[in-house]
Amino acid sequence: MAARDSIMTKPKDTKGTLRRMLSYLREYRPALAVILIMCAASNVLALIGPAYAGNAINEAQAGTGLVDFEKVGYYVRCMLIVYLASSLLRILISVWMTAVAKRVTRKMRNDVFDKLMKLPVGFFDRNQAGDIISRVSYDVDVIGTCLSSDVTQILTSVITVVGSLGMMLFISPPLTVVVLFTIPAAVLYTARMRGITQPLFVKRSKSYGTMNGFVEEMMSGQRTIQAYAYEDMVEERFDGINRSAADAYHDAEYHAVSIGPTVGFINNISLGLIAMIGAGLYMYERITLGDISSFVLYSRKFSGPINEIANIINELFSALAASERVFTLLDQEEELADKPGAIALCAPVHGNVALSHVRFGYEKDRTIIHDLSLNAPAGKMVAIVGHTGAGKTTIINLLMRFYDVDAGSICMEGQDIRDCTRKSVRGAYAMVLQDTWVFHGTIFENIAYGKENATMEEVVEAAKAAHIHGFIMRLPQGYETVISEDGGNISKGQKQLLTIARAMLYDAQILILDEATSNVDTETEKRIQKAMRKLMKNRTCFVIAHRLSTVQSADEILVLEHGDVVEQGTHESLMALQGRYYEMYMAQGE
C-alpha cells in the first residue's frame, strides 16, 4: 500500500486544450453541419415569436370596441406554432448531439485505453491505478457531457445573440444602446472569474483521482487491513483525503456558482433601464407599447444566452480541466519503439540466454544491478535467490525487455535482444508471477489465455499437470465455471495454480517463475515442480524463490546480494562452500 506518484497534471493553454477537445468532433462535421442548420432554424423561429407578441399587443391597445380579436388570435396562433416548431427542433438537436457525444467519448476512451497498452511498465509502477481509472471513466464522462449539451448551447446562444441584436436595432436603436451598455460588465466579470475557477477545477479533478487511487488500493488490500485491525486508521486517512476532495469541489463550485446570479443581476439592471427609458419614449410617441414588449422579450433573449454561458462556464472549465488530465495521459511517452532494422528473434528459439556485464538502475543515479553475468543454456533450470531487494525481479524485467540495460548486453540465441523486436522476445517467455491475475470469465478461458484456438484436451492436460484438474471437476460447471472479477470466488492458491496451468499451455521456450508456488502447500509444490520439469524438458526455466527447498534441483543457482552475484553453482556445491547460500539455507531450518 505504498504511496505512488500520480500523473503530473501540467497546465495547458485554454485555447489549445479546447481546440484539441473539439478536434474529436472533426469526423462528425456533416452531422454537425445539419445540427447547426437546425440550430439556426430553431432560433430564427424563436426570434419570430416576440414580433408576433408585439403585434398582438398593438392590436389589443387599439381601444374599447376597436380591438381586432381575429388578428390578435392570428398572431397568438402564429406565435404558438413558431415556438412549438422551435421546441421540436431543439429536441432533435439534443438527441443528435447526444449520439455524437456518445461516439466521441467512446473514441476518446479507446484512444486512452490504446495508449495505456503502449505505455512502458514503469508508467504503471509510478502511478496509482485508481487515478488512471479516474481519467478513463470520470474525466471522459465530464468531456462527453460538455460536448453533448454545452457545445449545442453555445451554438444556439451565438445565433440567438446575433439575431436578437438585429431585431433590437430594428425596433429601437436608443434602447439597444442601453442594453449594450451593460454587456461589457458581464463579459469582464466572466473573464475574471474564468481565471479564478479554471485552476480550481483542475485541482478538483486531481483530488478525485487521488481519492479513487486510495480507494482502489484499500479495496484490494481489505483482508490485510482487517487482519491488522487497521480499519480505524484507514477510515481516518480516507476522511482526510475525502475532506480534501470535498474542499476542492467546494472551492471550485463556490466561485463558479456566483457567476450565473451575478450576470443575471447585471442583466436585470439592463431590464430596469429599458423599462425606464422605454416609458419615456412611449410618452413622446417614439415607440409603441407592442414594440416595447417585443424589445423586452428580445433583450431577454439577448441577455439570456450570456447568462446561460455564465451558468455553464463552470461545466466548461471542469471539462477543460478533465481534458488536460486526459491529454496529459495521451501525451505520455510510449514504450520506446524497436530500433530501426530490428528483426524478429530467430526461429526456432531453443532457450539459450546469456547476460554479460549487465548494469541497470530504474533511476539514473541509483544503480541496482552492477555487473551481472550469467549463462543459461537451453533446457536448464536457473534459480535466482537472495534477500528482498537484491535485484531478483529486476533481472526478470530485463529479460522480458520491460526495461533495457544501461550497460552490458542480454543475448538470446546469440542475438542481442535490443536488436530484436520486443514482441518476439516476450513471445519466447511464459510467466507465472507471485501476484496472480485472473479475469472475469470461464476457467477454460482463463487457462487458454494467450494460446489462440486452444482445445479442451490441451487445457485439461495443462490443468492436470498443474494439479488443478480435480478441483475444477468438483465445481458445478467444471471448466465452464465462471470466475468472478479478480477471482473472488476461488482461493489465492487455486488462482495461482490456474496461472501455472496457463503458462504450461502457452507454447514458449522459456518459463519464468517468480515465487510461483508461494501459495500452495509443500506436497502440491513438489508435484508441480516435478510436472514442470517434465513439461519444460529442453526448455530454459528461470525460477525466483525465497524457499530454497524449491530450487535444490536447479542446474544453476545464482545468489544475489545488492545486485551482484556473490555465489553461483549447484545446491551441493554451494552447500559445500558454506558461504551466503549455506547461511540462508540453514536460517530457513532446512
Helix (H, G, I), strand (E, B) or coil at 111: helix
Measure the CA–CA gap between 536 and 138, rounded to whole angstroms: 46
Residue-wise DSSP of 372-431: EEEEE-TT-EEEEE-STTSSHHHHHHHHTTSS--SEEEEEETTEEGGGB-HHHHHTTEEE
Grid cell digits, residue 548: 530454497
Which cell numbers hold the place of 78?
402564429
Residue type, 536: M
176-193 residue pLDDT tens: 887 777 777 777 777 677
> Residue 305: CB partners within 8 Å, gap ≥ 6?
156, 157, 158, 160, 161
Alpha-carbon gap, residue 483 to 494, rounded angstroms: 11
pLDDT of residue 525: 67
Q: How far is residue 151 from each of residues 88, 101, 145, measured CA to CA in Å? A: 19, 10, 9
Percent of the chain having pLDDT more than 90?
4
Cβ–Cβ < 8 Å for 462, 522: no
Per-residue pLDDT, 444: 92
Question: Residue 530 corresponds to which cell in the numbers above?
Answer: 516435478
Predicted confidence at residue 409, as pLDDT, reads: 92
pLDDT band, very low/low/confident/very high, at 138 (cuts 50, 70, 90): confident
Q: Could you tell me which of 546, 539, 557, 480 has the C-alpha nearest to residue 519?
A: 546
Cell numbers found for residue 26 = 472533426
342-to-347, 397, 420, 424 alpha-carbon distances in Å: 15, 20, 5, 10
Q: What percent of the chain has pLDDT over 70?
A: 87
Residue 444 CB coordination number (10 Å): 19
Angle among Cα 339, 342, 346 to the nearest 5 degrees reads 150
Q: Which helix (H) or strand (E) holds 261?
A: helix 259-283
* Domains along the chain with CATH numbers: 14-18+104-330 (1.20.1560.10), 442-506 (no CATH)
Task: Tell me the torsion sign for CA atoms 496, 498, 504, 508.
Answer: negative
Q: Is the pTM of this model over 0.75?
A: no
Question: Is 381 within 8 Å of 553 (Cβ atoms)?
Answer: yes
Instruction: Tell me the residue type at 101.
Output: A
Q: Which DSSP helix (H) or strand (E) runs through 432? A: strand 429-432
Average pLDDT for residues 102-115, to the nearest whole number?
A: 88
Q: Answer with the residue of higher pLDDT: 6 or 498.
A: 498
What whole-number distance in Å separates Cα of residue 423 and Cα of residue 340? 15
438-483 tens-digit pLDDT: 878 889 988 888 787 889 998 998 888 888 898 899 988 899 988 8
